[in-house]
Structure 1
């Protein structure tokens, strides 16, 4: 009886179920991650518009933007959303332009902002989302630098004791597809 039971168990384990494995399914794999990162930040105090006792009507800065240097990463990016938020507590209005530049400092694209002057009460907040898809995304992929130009509009004069600030916080959301 034990021999018969042993043979039965051996036959049972020898005839297990199996199916053909389809390794070609790996070719159909599609990953679509979303990456969110800080883009730029500044906090310009009102008295920073004063240099040598003279009010500066225009200030700016240029930062490197080498995000798309890697060709595989650039090819995988299908969309980019840039979010900007300005907070003004200075009693002056501003016009801010963000310029996308190439290696030769050629302007590829401009994003304008208008920020009203602060009066007593809640700070002035301006937000905007710029979406880059299709042809605009191609422009973004050629960008190697981002420049900010902040123009101080006419109003009450500023001096070294002026209070308030103009703040920027921004982020980038990148949509990728890997196949």
Structure 2
């Protein structure tokens, strides 16, 4: 039933359906992938209302983000060695801050990055999935540090972004801004 709602882009209804299933099974008997699917349902519900600037739209965004984050937290609890739940917690919390100044997604992206890098250090190949998830985390971190006037860390993460994607425009722009600031101060 939840997958039918998802196909119809009725994401909140899909999330509610997963919640009913979780309640039926019992939270302690529900597998990580069910929580993950519930989380993605609420993530897409949140994404669909994030541009609604009315009070009702903002409240709905917050509600969906909270529900998604809770589901992804359960995913992390049940699969602590997987980056997926942490990455999605980062993704969903990032919806609440178009300009990442508070760092709502920061601890989640840091956890995902750490897990991915550990797997690579242990010999796993740098898959396209790992590459894209690292890129997303590094992008967030570079902008977060830039917005918080932390040039050292912003530069560090911009360089990490550019290692993965040498043409990434935001990282290039941040580094260019720092270069212009240095030139102007001379």
TM-score after normalising by structure 2: 0.20
Task: Return the structure number with greater helix share.
Answer: 2
Task: Return the structure number with greater strand share.
Answer: 1
Q: Whose radius of gyration is greater, 1 or 2? A: 1
TM-score after normalising by structure 1: 0.20
